[in-house]
Amino acid sequence: MSSAPDSAHPSTHMRAEIMQQPAALQTTIDALLPRAAEAGKLARDTRQVLFIARGTSDNAAVYGTYLIQAYAGRLATLASPSIATTYRSRLDLSGVLAVALSQSGQTDEIVETLAWASDCGARTLAITNGAGSPVAEAAEVAFVTEAGVEQAVPATKTFTTQLAALAVLAIGLGAELDAGLLRQVPAEIEAMLARPLDLGPIVAGLADVQGVVVSGRGLAYSAALELALKLKEACYLHAMGLSYADLLHGPIAVVDARTPAIVLAAGDGPTLDGTVDLALRVTGAGAQAYAIGGGARLAAASSLALPGPALPEWLAPMGLIVPGQLLTEALARRLGLDPDRPRGLSKVTQTA
């Protein structure tokens, strides 16, 4: 089955928005990369980055933590918004750059937590697709992504543009990364979307199971978490997103003939060997291992494979998620579900 829509399966908003990602990424990178120094100036007297997010934005923040720690030499962690909004604790956040991620910019908990961080002494930056939104107004600096309106509830282009904004942030914080390579991402995503993609066998394999493990490590972990979330949202699968290091500490026991694994990796980098070993362990246990990315080595170790992006590891998550998005949309349609409107979900989630 090709990734292109056909008359039997008319295009969904989700598929259309997946296809819009090259343009959204191009516009976002063009808008934000010239502002990298602005982020650096804001963070000049800070030593740590604290990410404030929920849901898909939290998965994007995981990419930010790895990127900034691996390449910018700063400690970067995920916040627990409940500390601000439920426990109402006060912390010393001097020397901290608090970065709030919210696609809409309207989630009250994220806005409140960013304001709390500022009150506790942090410098503040927002990454949002909502220009003029409450979270943008609450931050000292706002990186507004240029994804355009996203109609499907499962986020696609707002996720990848958040990753691009985080790459710009890392460069602004002093990471020795090639901005020219970042500029090549839209063309590579466009090339990926233009190639025929045989989703059919993996869709068939996932259509008859209730659960799946989705695993990656390091920078690819963010894409694994996001794919697991998409499969839960749009396909109602019990999808567990795990680092392969955590997976091997016990949860690997759930992988069997009825519970396949999807493994993601860049085509190079220090986590590839371990991902190949994980795929071999999964197939050795009699389970299906479906690979995304990882080049020929991971494909050879897996039951079935989808090609990943021709991008270095630090940029690969922007491309690794794309086959996963297409797979999710196709599986939802195979199951008779509307991926645009999952039950019980709305575009803006408010947390009590």
Q: Write out the catalytic residue numbers.
A: 347
Beta-strand runs (E) in the chain: 48-52, 75-78, 96-102, 123-128, 141-144, 211-216, 238-243, 261-265, 289-293, 304-306
Helices vs strands, H then E, count in the chain: 16, 10
Place of tokens 């697709």: 129
Q: Can you tell me the distance from the alpha carbon of 20 to that of 151, in angstroms, rounded to the nearest whole number?
A: 12
Distance CA 170, CA 342 (A): 34
Half-sphere exposure of residue 34: CA atoms within 13 angstroms, side-chain side: 4
Residue 82: other Cβ atoms inside 10 A: 13
3-state secondary structure of 338: coil
C-alpha 314/C-alpha 294 separation (Å) is: 14
Q: Which residues of 123-156 are buried (b: 16+ CB within 10 A; e: fewer)?
A: bbbbbbbbeebbbbebbebbbbbbbeebebbbbb
Tokens at 300, concatenated: 């050879």
